[in-house]
Amino acid sequence: MRFPTQLGRCHGIPLVLFDTNVLIDSDGFVKDIFGKDPRVSDNVRGVVCDFIESEMLNLKKGIRILDELKNDSEYLGFYFQTEYNSREGSAKSLEDMPTPEMKEAVLVEYDKKLNPSGMLGDSKEAKRASASKSKFVDFSILTVATISAFRRKRQSIIVSRDRWIKLSCKSLQNRFKLPLYCYDQWNFSMKEILDRVRTELKPPFDDSYL
């Protein structure tokens, strides 16, 4: 992965990455994270990735909040440019995971989403190849959040209601002690997320993977 230049200015602040549906459905929540409120900005910094913007443009939804975040100086946050801003790039994004084991941990959870019963005869490889063609954001946002957490040894938080993303983050957190978390915008308020950030500012981190 080619890190965005903005990452060097993030220092030790936990990063909050937003899934597309959050920007579209919960703009008040997003504004709270990006808003120029020292109680928030001292604790986290919001991130919008280029592939999220592209999906919103394709859906023709949420453009107003995106323009507001980018153009209003009252909002503080980061815009990450990645190599994943295409369907081809997104399909290959998991190849940039810090270790093959981390990639496999995510794909195991994805397999469960594709085939919860485990009874279909299709091979894992065939299912994954077929499914990845239709994924434009999910793999990418997991890769960006994972690499950020791994290299910075600081929290990466994904705000998404996608259950398999949440389970993937939990798997990476449990298996590799990554400071990687996922919360949805319906069950967690901004205050609850910030409270959890403060509680977990120094999560256990296994440096044997460095």
Burial group, residue 127, by CB count within 10 angstroms (0-12, 13-18, 19+): middle
Q: Which residue has the tokens 């239709």?
A: 134
Q: What is the predicted pLDDT for the residue at 92?
A: 86
What's the CATH fold of domain 5-203?
Rossmann fold (3.40.50)
Residue pLDDT, tens place only, 80-138: 888 899 888 888 899 999 999 999 999 998 888 776 555 454 555 555 555 444 466 88
Helical axes 100-114 vs 163-176, angle rounded to 10°: 150
pTM of the model: 0.83
Burial 149-186 (b: 16+ CB within 10 A, else e): bbebebbbbbbbbbebbbbbbebbbeebebbbbbbbbe
